[in-house]
Amino acid sequence: STGAVKMQPKAEELKFVTKNDGYVHIHPSSVNYQIRHFESPYLVYHEKIKTSRVFIRDCSMVSVYPLVLLGGGQVHMQLLKGDFVISLDDGWIRFVAASHQVAELVKELRCELDQLLQDKIKNPSMDLCMCPRGSRIIGMIVKLVTTQ
């Protein structure tokens, strides 16, 4: 008499989409199998297997900013229907930024992080926390990820 209550899906009903395989399910042996709600729609996984259907194992939820900053592929930004959209992986992963400023800052932070990691690869003894540029970039990333 008071209306319907939205139910969380059963563990076996929960599915995710991958670029190459379409729908995938969390494997019943995974520790995340019984979790029926994730705060973020994105998961990273280590193993994908196909039995009766395609399953992923060793998965973890990942939120948007770590995905943008540490995920593979180029970061792109565009204006779509008045929203500033940040995209990864040739547009397969997309999300709306709070503003043009936020989108530009995130894109620039990703570029700076990529360059910092290239510098570290060239000079493995470089202490990223002791050099001023490295400590600023790392500090901004920590602030962004912990306050999102």
Question: Among the three residues 43, 62, 81, which one is the final residue of a domain in this structure?
Answer: 62
Task: Indicate whether 16 and 56 sit together in one domain.
Answer: yes
Query: What's the distance, CA 15 to chain centroid?
Result: 17
Pairing between β-strand 76-80 and β-strand 83-88 as defined by DSSP bridges: antiparallel
* Burial class, 18, CB count within 10 angstroms (exposed 0-12 / middle 13-18 / buried 19+): middle
Q: What is the mean pLDDT of the chain?
A: 86
Say whether both 51 and 81 belong to one domain. no
What is the domain count for the chain? 2
| 128 within some domain | yes
Residues 125 and 79 in one domain: yes
Tell me, yes or no, whether 141 and 93 share the same domain. yes
* Closest C-alpha among 99, 98, 97, 102 to residue 87: 97
pLDDT band at 147 (very low <50, low <70, confident <90, very high): confident
Q: What band does 113 get if pLDDT is binned at 50, 70 and 90?
A: very high
Residue 88 and residue 28 share a domain: no
* Residues 40 and 73 both lie in one domain: no
pLDDT at 1 over 60: no
Domain holding 98, by residue range, is 65-146
pLDDT per position as a tens digit, 32-81: 888 878 888 889 999 999 999 999 999 999 888 888 888 878 888 888 88
Contact 26, 18 (CB under 8 A): no
Distances (CA, A) of 122 to 24, 43, 130: 38, 31, 17
In a domain, 5, yes or no: no
Q: Are residues 54 and 79 in the same domain?
A: no
| Distance of alpha carbon 120 from alpha carbon 123, whole angstroms | 5
Indicate whether 93 and 128 sit together in one domain. Answer: yes
Closest CA to 8 of 33, 31, 36, 41: 36
Comparing 3-7, 90-94, 110-114, the range with the smallest average pLDDT is: 3-7
Task: Kindly state whether residues 75 and 50 are assigned to the same domain.
Answer: no
70 with 140, same domain: the answer is yes
Residues 46 and 93 in one domain: no
pLDDT beyond 90 at 3:
no
Over residues 11-21, the pLDDT tens digits come to: 677 788 888 88
Could you give the CA distance from residue 93 to residue 35 in angstroms, rounded to a whole number? 23
What CA–CA distances, in Å, run from 66 to 14, 26, 33, 51, 117?
23, 21, 23, 31, 15
Contact call for residues 83 and 73 (beta carbons, < 8 A): no
- Residue 125 within any structural domain of the chain: yes
